[in-house]
């Protein structure tokens, strides 16, 4: 199944971009401690429409939404 339009747009969103309405959280939010005690978080999402899966990360300022490669 091809990616739905909101998911295509999701890939372009930055850290402050919110998940579109058909993206649901899967698993718990993960907290990491990076270099120099910088902490960041990641959260996985799945689309109810096209089943695309994303990981959101606060470690990146732009394009914070990463599409899972299948
Ligand atoms: Zn979708």
Closest to 14 in 3D by CA, of 66, 70, 69: 66
pLDDT digits (tens, 9 = 90+) for 1-20: 689 999 999 999 987 889 99
pLDDT given for residue 69 in this prediction? 76
Distance 16 CA to ligand 1 centre (A): 19
Tell me the torsion sign for CA atoms 5, 7, 11, 12: positive
User: What's this model's pTM, rounded to 2 decimal places?
Assistant: 0.84
Distance 40 CA to ligand 1 centre (A): 25
pLDDT given for residue 70 in this prediction? 65
Indicate the average pLDDT of the chain.
90
Q: Could you write out the DSSP letters of every residue in 1-68?
A: -PPPHHHHHHTT--TTPPPPTTEEEEEEEEEEE-GGG-EEEEEEEEETTT--EEEEETT-SS--EEEP
Distance 47 CA to ligand 1 centre (A): 5
pLDDT given for residue 61 in this prediction? 67
Distance 67 CA to ligand 1 centre (A): 11
Distance 57 CA to ligand 1 centre (A): 18
């Amino acid at each position: 199944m091809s990616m739905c339009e909101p998911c295509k747009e999701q890939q372009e969103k930055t850290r402050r971009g919110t998940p579109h309405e058909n993206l649901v959280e899967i698993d718990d939010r993960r907290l990491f401690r990076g270099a120099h005690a910088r902490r960041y978080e990641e959260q996985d999402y799945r689309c109810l429409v096209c089943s695309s899966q994303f990981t959101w990360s606060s470690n990146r300022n732009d394009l914070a939404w990463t599409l899972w490669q299948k």
